[in-house]
């Protein structure tokens, strides 16, 4: 019998709860889109969360979903609109709290052509200056209005939520 000490148990648990556990996750709406064989112009992912570490699971999830969509529909465009408390995790002085997730987001925006917006109205309610956000983050006047703009362009809206941990 192999005995696993508490440090090893904690390491295994942290790996399972990290973004790596979501690398093969698929969202039901993404799965339906892929199975439909009918490509929309794009997909706009909506995030409205209060989890203090939202991007630790959301960034790898968005990356995975984007990859799945691009494999099926190479020309599909991807946008992300963040208009919950998670948007404040994208302020420059908070980057140190989720370095790996922020790195994934930056690569998605700068290398993979994903548009990333936060809600300017929500920011104004908390006196957050738009210049406080990371350079690769765009500010929409209103998150919900930005989502509607994308829908009017033919994008499929998909609300993201923290997926359950999947053990294979």
Q: How far is CA 69 from CA 92, 95, 110, 136, in A?
A: 30, 28, 18, 22
In a domain, 165, yes or no: no
Element (H, E) at 46: strand 42-47
In a domain, 44, yes or no: yes
Closest CA to 45 of 80, 69, 75: 80
Residue 30: is its pLDDT beyond 60? yes
Element (H, E) at 47: strand 42-47
Structure tokens at 49: 């969360």
Number of domains making up the chain: 1
pLDDT confidence bin for 22, thresholds 50/70/90: very low
Q: What is the CATH number of the domain that holds 95?
A: 3.40.1260.10
In a domain, 167, yes or no: no
Q: From CA 65, how far away is CA 92, in angstroms rounded?
A: 26
65, with CB counted inside 10 A (0-12, 13-18, 19+), is: buried
In a domain, 36, yes or no: yes
In a domain, 127, yes or no: yes
In a domain, 113, yes or no: yes
* Structure-model confidence comparison of residues 165 and 160, the more confident one: 160
Residue 2: is its pLDDT beyond 90? no
What pLDDT was estimated at residue 75? 96
In a domain, 102, yes or no: yes
pLDDT confidence bin for 50, thresholds 50/70/90: confident
Domain that holds residue 105: 6-159
For the segment 57-93, what is each residue's pLDDT rounded down to a tens digit?
A: 999 999 999 999 999 999 999 999 999 999 999 999 8
In a domain, 168, yes or no: no
């Amino acid at each position: 019998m192999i005995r696993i000490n508490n440090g090893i148990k904690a390491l295994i648990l942290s790996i399972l709860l990290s973004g790596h556990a979501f690398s093969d996750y698929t969202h039901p709406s993404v799965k339906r889109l892929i199975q439909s064989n009918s490509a929309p112009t794009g997909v706009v992912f909506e995030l409205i969360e209060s989890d203090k570490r939202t991007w630790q699971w959301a960034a790898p999830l968005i990356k995975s979903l984007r990859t799945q969509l691009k494999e099926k529909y190479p020309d599909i465009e991807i946008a992300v609109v963040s208009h919950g408390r998670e948007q404040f995790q994208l302020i420059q002085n908070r980057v140190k709290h989720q370095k790996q997730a922020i790195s994934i987001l930056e690569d998605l925006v700068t290398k993979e052509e994903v548009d990333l917006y936060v809600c300017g109205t929500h920011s104004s309610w908390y006196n957050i200056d738009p210049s406080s956000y990371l350079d690769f983050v765009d500010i929409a006047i209103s998150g919900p209005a930005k989502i509607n703009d994308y829908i009017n362009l033919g994008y499929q809206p998909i609300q993201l939520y923290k997926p359950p941990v999947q053990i294979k």
